[in-house]
Each structure stands twice: as C-alpha cells, then as structure tokens.
Structure 1
C-alpha cells in the first residue's frame, strides 16, 4: 500500500513539473516528462509494484534467491576445477580422435633449444632447423638496430 502511494505521489509531482515546463513553451521536454511520470502509475496499475513488494518482503523468495546463488557457485566452482585440472571428458575424447586420425605424426627436428610442447610456432623461421652459430639468429635484429643508430 505504501509503495502504491509513493508511486502515485511521484507521478503527480512529475506531471506538475511537466505542466510548468509546458507553460514555459518547452513542449517536447514537457511531453517527455509527462511520459516518464506516467510510468510509476502504470506499474502500480499492472501489479508489478505489488509483486515486487511481496517478493522483497517474502522469506521464501529470498531463500529461492539463495538456492539459485548456491547453484551458480557450484557450477562456477566445478568449471574452475575442470579448467585447472587440464580439461574434462570432452577434451580427452578430442585428443583420442586426433590420435586415431593421424597416429604417425612426424617427430620434431632435433637441434638447439626446442620450443616447449603445446606452444605455437613463434614465427616463420620457427620450423626451420637451427644452426650451431646463434649469431645468425640475431643478424636481422642487429641490422635494424644499426639502421636506427642504436
């Protein structure tokens, strides 16, 4: 009952401000104010305000929100644990299917420092075998630095 009274008072005040605005020949702004001020009365007439008031004061509704929150926490927690462990059943079946399709993949080339497993190639030269002289790897970088005077 109090919520309906407050909404009616807000609407009446808004309509009063809209009348004053229209008196000042700002009709577009007055129409906009009138539209905004009619919203609370419309919400009261449709019963939304009463439903919200009943929900906000109902212990059963708050318990329901608590149960929904607990379900969400369980879901988020299990997803976090699944990601931390490295995946669940769906990802391991994908690996098994990939192994079945191409079981005899070529071995990576043996050479200098190889990249860690699971990381993508760093650039176009990553697949090329490295030579024993690591000075060739930095020749491009040295040329760029000399060009800029560094």
Structure 2
C-alpha cells in the first residue's frame, strides 16, 4: 500500500474516533470521552511510528505470519510454564492426624472450665467429632 493511502486511512479513522469520543463525553461523561479519545489516537500513532506499514505488509506475507505464530507459541509456553511452576511450588491441602499438629485445641481443666463455659464442653465434643470424621 502506498504511504499516502495509509496516512489517509489512519487520519480518517482518528478523526471519526475523536468525533465519536466527543459525543460520548457529552452523553456519558468526561472519563468515557477521554478513554475514547485515547483509543482514537492509536491509528495515527501506528502510522507515525511505522507500525501501519508493517501491519499492512503482514497481511499478505506468509513468512511474517509464521513469525507471529512462533511468537504466539512462545508466549503460550511461557505462561504455561509459569502456571506449572506455581502449582508445583504450592502443595495441596495436607491431612493432619487427629491430635497432631494443627488439630483444634480442646480445653482441659475439669470443673473450672465447664463452670465458666456453661455447656461449652458439649459443643467442643461435637466440633472435635466433626473434625475427626473429616480427618482434620
């Protein structure tokens, strides 16, 4: 594609986007309009940095598409390796034997503990039984 055509298309898309952003700012508020203006300036920025020429030559070039596919595969492999590394670093839930480390504390102390608790021993026995059944 010629440079003049790419510039005309980029400028037209930018101007249309800025007009739509102005309307959005009036109807939905300033933050929405500013966000639209930011996105509207992207095509002109692409043209000025040369990315538009690169992208237009990319469309019909199989070698560049192969390069894009290889870069995509590299990105996927990198993300998968990070997920696998993270899952290996964080072990799953461990089972703790009853009475072992991590078991729920059971108050001991006979009459003084039950007198102040008022039926707390029965509740603790139920909780202890539930925890024992679940292997905690």
| TM-score interval, smaller chain | 0.3 to 0.5
Per chain length, whose mean CA-contact separation is higher, i.e. which structure has more relative contact order (CA < 8 Å, sep 6+)? 2
TM-score by length of 1: 0.36
* Greater share of helix: 2
Given the two structures, how large is their TM-score scaled by the length of structure 2? 0.40
